[in-house]
Chains A and B, each alone.
Chain A
């Protein structure tokens, strides 16, 4: 093979190696974060601070996004269903779409954009100004001090944000259904509850624990791998948002597939019996 023809193949090989290396480093960081979880002196105070900064402060963004998504969804759905004389079913469709998919995914994308970028920028700045080295030099563990509280905050915060998003998304849809299409609020809610079951809600919210964990881990991994001064911090921030968004969408597909295969209703019933029994 000529040298010219080999060049693209070698570049492709280098790229594949870099990706594999990146996955390896990410897996190592995840393993270290899990190990830090069971170590003594869990950073509760830092977790609360991060929860406030990453999750609570993301709430307005998630609320606005979910309310307007619910409104647009109701608008589009009702408009299309009117053609078939099926307008009363708007609540069922909006409810199901928001509970199973849109609520979890939109909340995750919003958190990924805001918190993922924030984590990467903060840790990236700390990395290039040697603050991460300073933590290590003082005998402390950056995983426990920096990574663990952030990942825990996004993992626990996203499910709560998703419950907000689902509730307000359905409420947004109800507002449009009533004001624009004359569907009574009580009837709209009834059609929602007729179709949306506990298992739908549980499968929607369950996914967000994984999304939240992925957003936190990606932000931390990208931030701690930052090189090249302020330019590097800018690049890391962008990268964290892009990778977190892609990770949420890809993970959503596989998790949805997995949750559809699982006997969710039976599992929930067993859980109910277990809790009822105790």
Chain B
């Protein structure tokens, strides 16, 4: 594992028109861990994720990816860097006019000069990995919601990225499919040894897959720590119940000032 964190935010601020979404966000995601960002609708989770891959640019603060400062990087500067990323979008974001095969092959063709046979083999293996072997010829419109999500995952891992970002991977799925996607994220994490950043409001998914968990509220982290330690925290209970968060004095400092993330990873994290 390299010393530089996979992703680091320092005082990141982002507003849309008059609405401040991120208000000085600090976070540090270590290479190889599965880091889950929890938060209610509109809390800025997806905005946070899009800053990591340069789809949004922060108004102030700094973003580091794999040790490189990227917050002022122009669009063309991101092209090579995004080769290290895979992103699974909330609605899968598959290209409607392309078949499942063409969708999964898209990043490969964009970055690699592989033979057609090699591309086919890679796509086949990716689809096999997400349990969708034999669906190459189908169009996205012919797939169920769960299948679309899994094709999205197959596309995201096509280039064996170093960082995989998941935006609400279980939203809109039935419990069986949601569980399946959770197992898939965990299995890919083991297979690829990549850093996984998951944005969700699904607590079940969060504790099934995460090494560390953060709770985003009012544009900042209200809580951050190893999954096993923050599980019973008052902030998280309040989030789960939809009640008012506890006043600052009632918050145990240990959970808000988490242990060093490396320690959690070395311990193997807690997968609930």
Contact = CB atoms under 8 A, between A and B. Distances in A.
Interface of A: 125, 129-131, 133-134, 136-141
B83 interface: yes
Contacts of A139: 78-83, 107, 110-111
Contact of A131 (B54, B83, B93): B93
Contacts of A140: 79, 106, 110
Contact of B82 (A129, A130, A137): A137
B93 A130 contact: yes
Contacts of A131: 93-96
The 10 closest A-B pairs by CB, nearest first: A139-B82, A134-B93, A130-B93, A138-B107, A137-B87, A130-B89, A139-B79, A140-B110, A131-B93, A133-B55
B21 to A, nearest CB: 15
B53 interface: yes
B50 interface: yes
A136 B53 CA distance: 9
Contacts of B91: 129-130
Contacts of A133: 50, 55, 89, 93
B85 interface: yes
Q: Chain B contact residues (Cβ within 8 angstroms of A): what range?
A: 20 to 34
Most buried by B among A125, A129, A134: A134
A138 B82 CA distance: 6
B270 interface: no
Contact of A134 (B78, B81, B87): B87
Interface in B20-77: 50, 53-55, 75-76
B83 A130 contact: no
A69 to B, nearest CB: 34
Most buried by A among B83, B87, B155: B87
Nearest to A138: B107
B79 A141 contact: yes
Nearest to A130: B93
Given A140-B110, A141-B79, A130 B90 contact: yes
A4 to B, nearest CB: 23
Nearest to A125: B96
Nearest to A134: B93
Contacts of B155: 138
A256 B80 CA distance: 46
Contacts of B81: 139
B93 A129 contact: yes
B79 A134 contact: no
A146 to B, nearest CB: 11
Contacts of B90: 130
Contacts of B83: 139
Contacts of B50: 133
B110 A138 contact: yes
A131 B98 CA distance: 12
B133 to A, nearest CB: 22
A134 B83 CA distance: 13
Contact of A137 (B85, B96, B111): B85
A131 B85 CA distance: 16
A130 B80 CA distance: 21
A138 B55 contact: no
Nearest to B54: A136
Contact of A136 (B55, B80, B111): B55
A236 B253 CA distance: 50
A136 B89 CA distance: 12
A131 B55 CA distance: 12
Contacts of A129: 91, 93
Nearest to B85: A137
Contacts of A141: 75-76, 79
A134 B53 CA distance: 11
12 contacts: A129-B91, A129-B93, A133-B55, A134-B95, A136-B55, A137-B85, A137-B87, A138-B82, A138-B106, A138-B110, A139-B78, A140-B110
B35 to A, nearest CB: 18
Contact of B53 (A125, A130, A137): A137
Given A131-B96, A138-B107, A139-B81, 11 more contacts: A130-B93, A133-B89, A134-B95, A136-B54, A136-B55, A136-B78, A137-B85, A138-B155, A139-B79, A139-B80, A141-B79
A171 to B, nearest CB: 37
B154 to A, nearest CB: 13
A118 B55 CA distance: 26
Nearest to B81: A139
A129 B90 CA distance: 9
